[in-house]
Amino acid sequence: MAGFTYSGLKTAIQNYLDNDETTFTNTLDTFIQQTEERILKSVQLPVFRKNSTGSGTSGNTYLATPTDYLSPYSLAVVDSDSNYTYLLLKHVTWIRDYTPAVATTGEPLYYAQFDDDTFILAPTPNSNFTFELHYFYRPASLTAAGDSGTTWLSTNASNAMLYGCLVEGAIFMKTAPDEIMIYEQKFKEALATLKALGESKDVRDESRYDNVRMAPQ
């Protein structure tokens, strides 16, 4: 399927579901944004990875994430000689058990997702360390692109975008469950294709090495 512009996707949703009622059309942006979120949280696409460097504060066990942060790939302490020491990703409860006293300080070895905007580090930094975060980010929505605008997802994942929006639209319309399931199955098939594209079953050494650094929980 060819890619969609913002206007083209909205028209396709209305045509497939045969609905141009005002309340429905006013909710099209929500369908699109919900679908984008489902795709981005289901498939980790290398095209949506980037690096960000920032400083932690001595005595502060928390580290803020970038505003477009979606999920981590790696987090490292970078010293003055540009040497990298990678932290291991853990669960927040493990971090709490590892350092029940925030006063336990040192160079951080572990991190966890504390909330949507914050990591928690262990042990608590004993210096103003420089951190480099390699992460998956949330790109700008198609809804912000203008009528003739496109995004990577609308161009390269058009089936997933369309069928995901049809699922959301059909649920909104309280369509029969069997029809919703048809769209959901099409959406999952499109996701599988996208996953094969973005997360190829590559067995090269660099592919294995580049997995998200995690430790047993």
- Comparing CA positions, the residue from 76, 66, 60, 64 lying closest to residue 128 is 60
pLDDT at 213: 54
Task: Quote the Cα angle for 205-153-184, to 5°.
Answer: 95
pLDDT at 214: 54
Average pLDDT for the chain = 91
* pLDDT at residue 207 is higher than 60: no
Query: HSE on the CB side for 206, CA within 13 Å?
Result: 0
Higher pLDDT, 210 or 55: 55
Six-digit token string for 37: 């979120």
DSSP labels, 188-203? HHHHHHHHHHHS----
The structural domains of the chain, with segments of one domain joined by +, span 6-45+139-199, 48-137
Grade residue 205 by pLDDT with cuts at 50, 70 and 90: very low
Helix ranges (DSSP H) in 46-175: 92-98, 152-156, 158-172
- Judge contact between 131 and 53, C-beta under 8 A: yes
Q: What is the pTM of this model?
A: 0.83
Higher pLDDT, 41 or 201: 41
Grade residue 16 by pLDDT with cuts at 50, 70 and 90: very high
* pLDDT at residue 211 is higher than 60: no
The predicted-structure confidence for 103-141, as pLDDT tens digits, reads as follows: 889 999 999 999 999 999 999 999 999 999 999 999 999
For residues 49-53, give the mean pLDDT: 96
Six-digit token string for 159: 């089936």
Higher pLDDT, 44 or 21: 21
Q: Which residues contact 13 (CB under 8 A, 6 or more apart)?
A: 28, 31, 162, 165, 166, 169
pLDDT at 212: 56
pLDDT at 59: 94
Grade residue 206 by pLDDT with cuts at 50, 70 and 90: very low
